[in-house]
Structure 1
């Protein structure tokens, strides 16, 4: 399934590069735009449909496959030691996050109290760590994939849990570009699995949108943190009201 997702993401990138919109593709293959969007969102293609799309767009399957293969060579997670080194230096961490956000050296200097020499020095460390490749003229090639994430419960997530979560949630979430939804439901195991799959897909879509918007001018992009979480949970004040489980009655076997 992961390889199929990579192929669809690669196809979307090829279409984007050619300026082919969902509306144009829909007209070419005789589908509604909504159906095409849903098909790409769910990544649910038959081989026949894929062939139709390739013919309609003039995209060579080999280009799609090669792009997906290049993506598969990139890392989706750092090691524990790599994360620990990055989080151990606040300025290094700021540069690493800036690079993930497609900022140039000049834009990092414009944003933070770092001079060019300091930024380059941190980029050299990130190159040595394996996070990126530093190219001539201080250009950067990320070595992490579009689905990159910090290690669950690793050094960086632990840092955010202990120091940043309270700061992140210290808002009324009623301002521009803010939203908070808390939903308590009771679901079957099957529905819970489906929900988690949709959350993972939303996170991938969010990362993909980040890549697409990276082409926009720096002043048209704004920092946004997106937190998704789900777990079996009941507030402590409700737990205190729960009845203790009924004692189990042992069956008596008759002889």
Structure 2
């Protein structure tokens, strides 16, 4: 991610934390909301415009740069023990997913059958786990970086593979906003590496869009899940028919 994009992502988080929406920004700048969204998504703006946006967020440009530098020092992964604690408690996992998706305390309370006291306790646990920094009036800031990931084959990923993935795949994928494709072919090691790089770029774009849309009201955002699976693989029935099953190893 470029420094300009990282700076704008930091600014979006500051606006979100202050309860300032794209519509509010558009009103202050005398622009349409779509123009504001495009300005953030294209990461192109003048210093005067950046200064104006900082003023709306109650920041100086120097403050924003310091916050961006601090963001880059944030953790991008929990420990195995921390993940085990989150995976063991469905309510804790739910609130963790909510805060990672830029929900506010009020939005969690309004959406789920959790009492204020329960959510406060769960947020306190996430604070102890270093996922958030809990602040007065039940406000909080994420203390993980925008590149945060669950541990590969860790407790959370195993939970999703065991309990979530089968339900996710139980669909015809023909509804609005859905798509499923399966492709099989024969690729060289070089082409395999190229595909992996393209998948990394797709994931990076997904993360950028997630950050970009975090400034929108909750009613304009939808839970969206992307499953990517790519590996050298042959259907076991076909492999069992080979004269030498170990003949081709990637």
TM-score (norm. length: structure 2) = 0.75
Report matched runs for 1:235-250 at 5 Å. Answer: 235-244=235-244
- The structure number with the bigger radius of gyration is 1
SS of 1:196 mapped into structure 2: helix
**Separation in 2 of the partners of 1:193 and 1:15?**
35
Q: Which is worse superposed, 57-66 or 223-232?
A: 57-66
8 Å contact 1:7–1:64 — kept in the other structure? Answer: no
Specify which of 46, 52, 61 is matched with residue 57 of structure 1: 46
Give the aligned partner of residue 105 of structure 2.
105
**Separation in 1 of the partners of 2:122 and 2:8?**
33
Q: Which is worse superposed, 205-214 or 9-18?
A: 9-18
SS of 1:123 mapped into structure 2: helix
**Separation in 1 of the partners of 2:76 and 2:197?**
18
8 Å contact 2:9–2:211 — kept in the other structure? Answer: no
8 Å contact 2:173–2:180 — kept in the other structure? Answer: yes
8 Å contact 2:213–2:221 — kept in the other structure? Answer: yes
Deviations 1:104-142 (A, max 9, x none): 112112221101110011000110111101011111100
Q: How many residues align?
A: 217
Give the aligned partner of residue 175 of structure 1.
175
Deviations 1:178-230 (A, max 9, x none): 11121112222222222112211211211111111111111111111111121
Specify which of 7, 10, 19 is matched with residue 6 of structure 2: 10
Q: What runs of 5+ residues in structure 1 fail to find an aligned partner?
A: 25-36, 41-52, 248-255
Flag the structure with more relative contact order, 1 or 2, with Cα contacts below 8 A and sequence separation at least 6: 2
**Separation in 1 of the partners of 2:150 and 2:246?**
43
**Separation in 2 of the partners of 1:93 and 1:183?**
33
Deviations 1:133-182 (A, max 9, x none): 10111111001111111100000001111111111100000001111121
Q: What runs of 5+ residues in structure 2 fail to find an aligned partner?
A: 16-24, 27-34, 52-60
Q: 1:238 to 1:8 in 2, by over 3 A?
A: farther
Q: 1:63 to 1:116 in 2, by over 3 A?
A: closer
